[in-house]
A and B are shown apart, each in its own frame.
Chain A
């Protein structure tokens, strides 16, 4: 048995094409990333960027949802949720950062090109960029964060980073020291959830990376996610066509996030599977407590390994369950509904917290080998923690859960 299938893998729910895609990605990332990283480490130009191109362009993840007539693959029914999970799990196993970037790209596609809610105009405008085969499209989001100005317009307590003003036929955007969710230094497209001057309802507006008035600060150093070279942005009177506003409502915003959380959850499961493989390889023959005592046979370390495997299994089941909810709107409701969005938010936080714990334990078990870059484990530990922080505060997300489950209104 493929050792990744040791963990519960709901093959029965995946289509043959999903299984084939997962299998070919498993081979590809093994050859192109896993086998090369001892030498190339986390080199962006040498390892990560070329592979982003392979995954998004050559494998075609960035064409997945768009209509065929626009060059896409029109795999845009809700069942594509399983494809996202199966694909990003494999990518995440090789590099969680690449999967995190792909999660952005796929969430944007899902929010624009999903069969039931296809946004014809936006598809017409943006599909060519994703489907022309000229290179990977790095998508980043600009979401509300903890700001420093108490009077700044806020979304659920956090400050909008960008303010938008409607002009005739266009939007004019402003924001200083804007922190995107990834790749501030490289992104081709920023999707910003903006406060709109004089209006209650925010707007989700796409800003091309080369828009005049958009400037990028230097790449800053962070814990992990080498694939996402992040930098803060300044938007100074950036003007984009009116059609770049993709939606105004909560429903669509949550839909985007639900799909994003699915991608992130799958990416995290991939990281966990990688940690499993590394620990297994290292631990199969490691001896402790004198000669003849194999580490995995020790009751204490064996129990911890068991707990890690349990964490990985549960996380995988949860990620696929989220895929199942998104894949079946008839049963569960729209991806942007309160219920599905809350479930997605709970699952992504649960998976990331579980991943943090499991990675901590794997590091402990591998002791100094876990801490040395040579063994490649520590990068998953750093990457997953970074993803968790970028997804947001678990403490405050709990208020969303309480709002839905207990009807809390002021939280």
Chain B
């Protein structure tokens, strides 16, 4: 019988850890997530069911340590040139069960990209934060606080808007930053985050990227408040809330990379983030394929399994063809993110644009073919028990995080056609 493992994986460049990681994650998913995931939607506020699998994965298996250098108790992934290819496999496996978990897992590492990747490792900050993640078996979450009430895209749109709309301020007062502002939506908030990387401006209204500052704040610092979790259409395992910073004081060396570099390395979150989204899409589609296969075998039409109808087979083929394409493209993106020697640095606007292009295309394909599959399954397509609708609901947001669809289009056009005003 065919399985999800029959879809092509680019064997010539997958990470050497791929097989091991794959089996660890698959086993964890089967035992710790699959049996409970249909109840996650109602668990969005408390994470009573969502927390235990995270505890196992992040704390007990120690995945939350993975980006830190080995001498600080981590696994040294930040220095590996298989980081993204390995992450692709992990993301795929988690997203097969639950994309919200995959997003929360991926977002945990976003704050560390500024300080854990070469050539801009910030050793002092890594030493400062490594114990929080590496010396415990409890899950510890981190969040990247970027979006503000007036809009997220503009802050991500660094090339054109250049941070001029950021309202969260960071003022240097002696050897401390004083942070004030209001953020919306960071993944892993709602009370979960222990550490946050906050995107601030040191000069409100300025369009000089050197005034964009990424500053770390631990959630127990006086003046930090995380609101209650939002209720969303899906993605319950990713907790999001408002976060307020009121005269929050942190040491001056808590700034990630420094003037100009904070803005520059923000691109790394965009390239790896968009690559990650493709992995989540691929993982979710694998699971839809599994459930759909069961459906079209079990359900009958004109006395035969549904899959034996030519018109139905057309829909099934489109779905499989899209998985094949999305997975291969996704792995290729991961490899491009890993091989700086061949494809340029992670923050390179060309690489970011290419990641955005592939990701929005993959997402559009997902929306189209999954919508058709749900409809093909008729009333069962909307049943929680058939799981397809969950992926459909969960993934919709992946058109919006890490750059909305339109921002992706604009950045793609801007790079490929050298547009100057978009």
B residues 121-157 near A (Cβ < 8 Å) are 147, 150-154, 157
- Decide if A385 touches B378 in the complex (CB within 8 Å): no
Judge whether A287 and B151 touch: CB under 8 Å. Answer: yes
Q: Chain A contacts of B157 at CB under 8 A?
A: 289
B13 within 8 A of A: no
Residue A403 at the chain B interface, CB threshold 8 Å: no
Most chain A beta-carbon contacts within 10 A, residue among B378, B389, B396, B404: B378
A396 to chain B, nearest CB (A): 7
**Which one of B20-28, B54-62, B82-90, B293-301 is at the interface?**
B293-301
Residues from chain B with Cβ under 8 Å of A371 in the complex: 232-235, 396-397, 400
Which residue of A147, A290, A389 contacts B154 across the interface (Cβ within 8 Å)? A290
Interchain Cβ contacts under 8 Å between A and B, 13 examples: A147-B299, A157-B302, A159-B300, A220-B384, A300-B406, A363-B396, A364-B404, A368-B400, A381-B233, A385-B374, A396-B301, A396-B311, A399-B311
A290 to B311, CA, bound (A): 48
What does the 1/0 interface line of B218-232 toward A look like (CB < 8 Å)?
Answer: 000000000000111
B400 touches A367 (CB 8 A): yes
C-alpha gap A390/B154 in the complex (Å): 40
Contact mask for chain A residues 357-391; partner B; CB cutoff 8 A; 1 contact, 0 none: 00010011001101111100010011001101110
Question: Is A15 an interface position by the 8 A CB rule?
Answer: no
B45 on the interface (CB 8 Å rule)?
no
Known contacts A356-B371, A368-B152, A385-B374; decide if A398 and B311 are in contact (CB<8 Å): yes
Cα–Cα, bound, A145→B165 (Å): 53
Q: Is the CB of A395 within 8 A of B314?
A: yes
A374-B231, A381-B233 in contact; A393/B376 too (CB < 8 A)? yes
CB neighbors of A among B150-180 (8 A): 150-154, 157, 160-161, 164-165
B306 within 8 A of A: yes
Within 8 A of A (CB), among B227-246: 230-235
Question: Out of A157, A158, A373, which one reaches B231, CB within 8 Å?
Answer: A373
Whether a CB of chain B sits under 8 angstroms from the CB of A313 is no
Q: How many residues of A contact B (CB 8 A)?
A: 54
Closest 10 CB pairs of A and B: A146-B299, A221-B384, A378-B233, A223-B382, A157-B302, A373-B231, A223-B389, A389-B381, A222-B382, A367-B400
Which A residues are CB-close (under 8 A) to B234? 371
Segment of A98-106, A148-156, A205-213, A337-345 in the binding face: A148-156
Contact of A221 among B38, B376, B380, B400 (CB under 8 A): B38
- CB neighbours of B298 from chain A (8 A): 148
B384 partner residues in chain A, CB cutoff 8 A: 220-222
B231 nearest in chain A by CB position: A373
Q: Report the tally of A-B residue pairs with Cβ distances under 8 A.
A: 150
A236 on the B face (CB < 8 A): no
Chain B at the A interface: SS class:
helix
Per-position binary interface string of chain A over residues 131-162, scored 1 when its CB falls under 8 Å from any chain B CB and 0 otherwise: 00000000000000111111110100111000
Q: How distant is B293 from chain A, measured CB to nearest CB, in Å?
A: 14
In the bound complex, CA of A371 to CA of B187 (Å):
14
Partner of B232 from the list A157, A356, A372, A396 (CB cut-off 8 Å) is: A372
With A148-B298, A300-B410, A367-B400 in contact, is A288–B379 under 8 Å at CB?
no
**Docked pose: A151 CA to B303 CA in angstroms:** 6
* Residues A223 and B392 in contact in the complex (CB < 8 Å), given A146-B378, A368-B152, A373-B231: yes
Asked whether B375 is an interface residue with its Cβ less than 8 Å from the other chain, the reply is yes
Contact between chains at A179 and B379 (CB < 8 Å) = yes
Least CB distance, A351 to chain B, in whole angstroms: 14
B110 to chain A, nearest CB (A): 16
A13 CB–B CB distance under 8 Å: no
Q: Is A31 among interface residues, defined by CB-CB distance under 8 A?
A: no
Asked if A301 lies at the interface with its beta carbon under 8 angstroms from chain B, I say yes
Please give, as numbers and ranges, the residues of chain A lying within 8 Å of B312 by CB-CB distance.
Answer: 395-396
Is A280's beta carbon under 8 Å from chain B? no
User: B residues within 8 A CB of A393?
Assistant: 375-378
Q: Which residue of B lies closest to A411 (CB)?
A: B311
- Whether A368 contacts B184 by the Cβ 8 Å rule is yes
Residue of A nearest to B302 (CB): A157
Q: Which B residues lie within 8 Å of A151 (CB)?
A: 303
- Identify the interface centre among A181, A222, A371, A381: most chain B CB within 10 Å of its CB: A371
For residue A36, CB closer than 8 A to chain B, the reply is: no
Q: A148-B299, A220-B385, A223-B393 are in contact. Are A372 and B379 (CB under 8 A)?
A: no
Tell me if B367 is interfacial: C-beta within 8 Å of chain A.
Answer: yes
Q: How far is the CA of A331 from the CA of B134 in the complex (A)?
A: 77
Flag whether A291 is at the interface (Cβ < 8 A).
yes
Q: Is B264 an interface residue (CB 8 A)?
A: no
Partner of B230, one of A367, A372, A385: A372
Contact A222 B389 (CB under 8 A): yes
Measured between beta carbons, the chain B residues less than 8 angstroms from A288 are 151, 153-154
Q: Nearest-CB distance from B47 to chain A (Å)? A: 18
Residue-by-residue, is A170-187 near B (CB-CB < 8 Å gives 1, otherwise 0)?
Answer: 000000000101000000
Within 8 A of A (CB), among B283-324: 298-304, 306, 309, 311-312, 314-315
Chain A contacts of B201 at CB under 8 A? none
What residues of B have a CB within 8 angstroms of the CB of A306 in the complex? none
Q: Is there contact, CB below 8 Å, between A367 and B378?
A: no
Q: Which residue of B152, B298, B374 has the most chain A CB atoms within 10 A of its CB atom?
A: B374
CA gap between A148 and B299 in the complex, in Å: 5
- The reply to whether B315 and A395 contact each other, CB–CB distance below 8 Å, is yes
B161 to chain A, nearest CB (A): 5
Cβ-neighbour of A364 out of B232, B315, B389, B406 (below 8 A): B406
CA–CA, A392 and B301, complex, Å:
13
Distance between B387 CB and nearest chain A CB, rounded to angstroms: 11
Say if the beta carbon of B64 comes within 8 Å of chain A.
Answer: no
* In the complex, per-residue mask of B386-419: 1 if CB is within 8 Å of any chain A CB, else 0: 0001001100110110001110011000000000
A373 touches B232 (CB 8 A): yes
**Residue contact A374 to B160, C-beta cutoff 8 Å:** no
Whether B383 sits at the interface, judged by CB under 8 Å, is yes
Does residue B372 face the partner (Cβ distance < 8 Å to A)?
A: yes
**Shortest CB distance B182–A (Å):** 14
Residues of A within 8 A of B375 (CB): 388-389, 393-395
Question: Can you list, as one digit per residue, whether each of A280-297 has a CB less than 8 Å from chain B (1) or not (0)?
Answer: 000000111111000000
User: Given contacts A146-B380, A300-B409, A386-B382, could you give 7 more A-B pairs where the C-beta distance is less than 8 Å?
Assistant: A146-B299, A221-B41, A223-B393, A286-B151, A364-B399, A367-B404, A381-B396
Asked if A150 and B382 make an inter-chain contact with CB atoms under 8 angstroms apart, the answer reads: no
Residues of B within 8 A of A154 (CB): 302-303
Confirm or deny: A191 has a beta carbon within 8 angstroms of a beta carbon on chain B.
no
A367→B378 CA distance, assembly (Å): 28
Whether B300 and A290, one on each chain, are in contact in the complex, defined by CB atoms closer than 8 angstroms, is no
Most buried by B among A364, A393, A394: A393
Decide yes or no: A389 and B230 within 8 Å by CB, A367-B153, A368-B400 being known contacts.
no
Residue numbers in B under 8 Å from A373 (CB-CB): 230-233
Of residues 207 to 247 in A, which have CB atoms within 8 Å of B's CB atoms? Answer: 220-224
Contacts of A221 in B (CB 8 A): 38, 41, 383-385
Name the contact of A360 in the complex, choosing from B160, B235, B314, B367 (C-beta under 8 A): B367
